[in-house]
Amino acid sequence: MIKFSQVLFLLNTVWTLTRGDAEIFCPLGQSCILPCRFQPGEDVVIHWIQQVEPTKKQVHSFYRSRDQLDQQDARFKHRTSLFQDQISRGNSSLRLTGVTFEDEGRYMCYSSILTGKMESFINLKVYAPVLDINIQHSGNEIICSSDGIYPEPELTWSPDQTDPNTSSTQTEQKLYNIRSAVASADSKDVSCTVSTPADSRRATLKSTVHENISGSEASISCSNLTAFTSYIWRFNHSEEVVRGKPEDFQPTEKWQQHIVESSSEKLTLKQLHPNLTGIYTCEIRGDRETFVKSLFLHITEDSNMNTIVIIVGVIVAVVLVAASVTAIIFWSKKKSKKNREKKDESTGENDRLNS
């Protein structure tokens, strides 16, 4: 049996290809593939070794046609695997699950066959993706923020802003929270991009639109962004109205009675009342982008509607009066006719009696 120490000795004597290390970013907490290839052949030996100076940790080994994990470092237990069916094709890539910050560093992939050997190096870097960006008006500022990012992100505004107040803080879990404020220019669209070398995401805040609504029904439009994963409509920034996905939507209890139709493109509301005047904001989220648009909806009592109601009321009243008058006339006519018939009958009887 080949001992790990013997392997290390062997490795030191191998002629090394001095290419620059390949760099690979692995998402924190998720799985990642460290790519490696070799010339296929017989008697395949594969060793993955993490080079944490001054020691080396065995990550995963394979020889005699199977995994050999006796010497595996405890940190990698149950977290590594090779693509067994691909080894004969020269694929010695390693799959690592549950990536942590301690996995960062330089890895050597050593592969040998009967007729030769090769080694390559990979520099593993961990990142925590920019999952979401929050962008909103706050007083006379626009604030853009994002949390839980690694490594330290950069935040840029578009169009370029003079004097953005940007700051980032690091949590105990090493993750960064970033926040930036700029003076609000209500009439312009602004975008804010948060990026790391591994990842980036953009959020766009459209200028606020004002709309006057007189009546009880209205359709307000958001965006025709086709590739999105979810959207939310909010009222006065904090109150949720409806939450949706491409295939369905879920209104909140309070707003259920007001929603006719909801999508990322538009929201159709009914039974509106002046007390629902306020800011309606839609936020659409795509894979790499967030889109936010606010509409100030001024709802007034519909004066035309009132006139219609009055006219309809008058017509109904007239019709009712006419109908009842007709009924009364008809009824009284019928009654007098009956009376006459009764009279006729009784006179007929009298005639008979008299004769």
Ligand X SMILES: *[C@@H]1O[C@H](CO)[C@@H](O)[C@H](O)[C@H]1NC(C)=O
Q: Which residues bind ligand X (CB under 6 A)?
A: 33, 35, 37, 83, 86, 91, 93, 165, 167, 179, 181, 210-212, 224, 226, 236, 273, 275, 277-279, 298
Q: Name the residue among 130, 128, 129, 134 with its Cα closest to residue 232.
A: 134
| Cα 247 to Cα 195, 230, 243, distances in angstroms | 30, 10, 11
**Residue 273 or 340 having the CB closest to ligand X:** 273
How many CB atoms lie under 10 A from the CB of residue 51? 14
Which residues, in sequence order, are CB contacts of 26 under 8 Å at separation 6+? Answer: 32, 96, 99, 103, 124, 125, 126, 127
Cβ 181 to ligand X shortest distance, Å:
6
Cβ 193 to ligand X shortest distance, Å:
19
> Measured between alpha carbons, how far is 213 from 273 in angstroms, rounded to an integer?
10
Cβ 111 to ligand X shortest distance, Å:
11
**Residue 8 or 95 having the CB closest to ligand X:** 95
The string over 157-170, giving b where at least 16 C-beta atoms fall within 10 Å of a residue's C-beta and e elsewhere, is: beeebeebebebee
By beta carbon distance, the residue nearest ligand X is 278
Cβ 255 to ligand X shortest distance, Å:
11
**Residue 23 or 344 having the CB closest to ligand X:** 23
**Residue 71 or 165 having the CB closest to ligand X:** 165
Cβ 267 to ligand X shortest distance, Å:
16
| Cα 20 to Cα 8, 48, 95, 118, distances in angstroms | 21, 18, 22, 15
**Residue 8 or 147 having the CB closest to ligand X:** 147
- Here the tokens at position 313 are 């009321």
